[in-house]
Amino acid sequence: MNKHTFIAAWVIIVMLPACAMPAAAAEDGRGFLGIITGDVKSTAHQIGMDLKTLVQRSRVHLSVFNSSGSVENIYAVYQRPGNHLGLVQSDVLAFVAKVRSDPRLKLIADKIKWVFPLYDQEVHILGTTAIHRFSDLQGKRVAIGHVESGTYLTSRLLFEISGVLPRQMIAIGHAPAMAALQSGSIDAMIIVDGAPVERLALDVSAADGLHLVSLTDDGIRAFYPASRIPSGTYPWQAADVDTVSVKAVLVAYDFRNHHCNTIGNVARLMSDNLEWLRFNGHPKWKTVDLDETVKGWEQYKCVKSYTPSATADESESAPERKFNPVADAIAAVFRP
From the number of C-beta atoms within 10 Å of its C-beta (0-12, 13-18, 19+), residue 272 rates as exposed
- State the helix-helix crossing angle for 150-162 and 90-98, rounded to 10 degrees: 70
pLDDT per position as a tens digit, 98-121: 887 889 999 999 999 999 999 999
Instruction: Fill in the DSSP letter of residue 318.
Output: P
pLDDT confidence band for 246 (50 / 70 / 90): very high
Per domain, the residue ranges of the chain are 23-119+248-319, 121-246
**For the residues 17-23, what does the mean pLDDT come to?**
39
**For the residues 134-163, what does the mean pLDDT come to?**
97
**Where does 42-102 have alpha helices with state H?**
43-56, 70-79, 90-98
pLDDT confidence band for 333 (50 / 70 / 90): confident
Does 13 score more than 70 pLDDT?
Answer: no
pLDDT confidence band for 30 (50 / 70 / 90): very low
| Superfamily of the domain at 23-119+248-319 | Periplasmic binding protein-like II (3.40.190.10)
Instruction: Indicate the SS3 state at residue 115.
Output: strand
pTM value? 0.84
pLDDT confidence band for 252 (50 / 70 / 90): very high
- Least confident range from 104-118, 222-236, 242-256, 305-319: namely 305-319
Does 311 score more than 90 pLDDT?
Answer: no
Does 125 score more than 90 pLDDT?
Answer: yes
CA-wise closest residue to 122 among 287, 267, 6: 287
Domains 23-119+248-319 and 121-246 share a fold: yes
CA-wise closest residue to 182 among 164, 156, 206, 155: 206
CA-wise closest residue to 73 among 35, 124, 43: 35
Fold of 121-246: D-Maltodextrin-Binding Protein; domain 2 (3.40.190)
From the number of C-beta atoms within 10 Å of its C-beta (0-12, 13-18, 19+), residue 322 rates as exposed
> How far is the C-alpha of 115 from the C-alpha of 111, rounded, in Å?
13
The DSSP secondary structure of 157-215, one letter per residue, reads HHHHHH----SEEE---HHHHHHHHHHTS-SEEEEEEPSSPHHHHHS--GGG-EEEPB-
Kindly report the backbone phi and psi dihedral angles of residue 77, in degrees, each rounded to the nearest multiple of 5, phi listed first.
Answer: -60, -35
Does 319 score more than 80 pLDDT?
Answer: no
Instruction: Indicate the SS3 state at residue 68.
Output: coil
